[in-house]
Amino acid sequence: MKTITRFSIGYLLFALYCCFFTAHAEEHIPLDPVMRLGIYYPPISDNVSRADVVVSFSLWVQEQAKSVGVKAADVMLFDSIEEMSEAFDSGIINIISAPPLSIALHFKRENLADGFYGIRAPGKLNSVILLARTDKNINSIKDLRGKRLIIPEHHELAEMFLDTLILKTYHIPYKKLFSSIDILKKDKRIVLDLFFDKADVVLVNEGAFELMKELNPQLNEKIKIIASYPTKSKSYAYVNKNYPFRQKIIDNYLSMAMSVRGRQFLSLYQQDLLEACSVKELDAYDELAKEHQQLLKK
């Protein structure tokens, strides 16, 4: 009986020593978590290849990691927004870049801290716009029945915006309204197809349309805007609230645009400047999604 007691006490002391040693060791290990940027790739696939994204962003993330005192950094591309959200919640990635509606719909708000996005110029939006040919007698949403439509691929915001407009006016989904619907990758190609009468109505981002008008002023004669949804950028970047270096990253965003890698970051998204964005800005996309769901139920 004494032998058992001695063994139990000895084991207990050994266990307590191990716990103390582990806690003491962990207390002195410097915190140096890996900085990993997760990018939702499909929405930017029309502008840049996977290899270019990985190379450019890896170098940029390494610079940002070094600037906040983190030695290791990585970039991960995701084809599934659900998988990307799971990786963010579990800490596999700690910075995300994705369209704002996709973030609003698929990421837990309590895990997000403020971040940044690229903009075209101070005060300029990159709204989703609905364009129509001027010779098709289209002046409002009420004139769209039976028309030919082209929408951009992997553009959840453009599709929900259009469906909301159609549901409010016709009380049917947009896919039942048009005589034909084509899906194309590049905004520039979509605008050109509208110009050359391969469609009656198209959806694109404002930045691409403005650029095309600069190159071809004739677009002003044949194309007009009949509806728009305001958004500042095609992609928003947010930091995980639980990431220990999140505030340093947020504080450092202004200097990103000044570096060579930062300029590459902006050029991939066809933007000129970086601005801070708050988590609160996602509320507008929540409202759109809520309105869309209510209209579907009706």
| Kind and range of the H or E run holding 157 | helix 156-170
CA 153, chain centre distance (Å): 15
Same domain for 69 and 135, yes or no, is: no
Q: Is 154 domain-assigned?
A: yes
Q: Is 261 domain-assigned?
A: yes
Q: Is 87 domain-assigned?
A: yes
Q: Is 12 domain-assigned?
A: no
The domain that holds 59 is classified in CATH as 3.40.190.10
pLDDT band at 257, cuts 50/70/90?
A: low
Per-residue pLDDT of 204-248, as tens digits, reads: 999 999 999 999 999 999 999 999 999 999 999 999 999 988 888
| Residue whose pair of structure tokens reads 């391969």 in the numeric block | 198
Q: Is 40 domain-assigned?
A: yes
Same domain for 206 and 240, yes or no, is: no
Same domain for 109 and 163, yes or no, is: no
Q: Is 11 domain-assigned?
A: no
Nearest CA-CA partner of 192 in 226, 169, 222: 222
Q: Is 252 domain-assigned?
A: yes
Same domain for 48 and 188, yes or no, is: no
Same domain for 189 and 133, yes or no, is: yes
Residue 142: how many CB atoms within 10 A of its CB? 9
Same domain for 174 and 212, yes or no, is: yes
Using DSSP, state whether 104 is helix, strand or coil: helix
Same domain for 45 and 108, yes or no, is: yes
Q: Is 296 domain-assigned?
A: no
Same domain for 222 and 80, yes or no, is: no
Same domain for 158 and 86, yes or no, is: no
Same domain for 175 and 221, yes or no, is: yes
Same domain for 205 and 150, yes or no, is: yes
CA 248, chain centre distance (Å): 21
Per-residue pLDDT of 56-82, as tens digits, reads: 788 778 888 888 888 888 999 999 999
Same domain for 42 and 115, yes or no, is: yes
Question: What is the total count of domains within the chain?
Answer: 2
For residue 40, what are the domain limits? 35-120+235-279
In the chain the first and final C-alpha atoms are separated, in Å, by 77
d(CA 89, CA 128) in angstroms, rounded, equals: 29
- Across the chain, mean pLDDT equals 86
What confidence score (pLDDT) does residue 262 get? Answer: 67
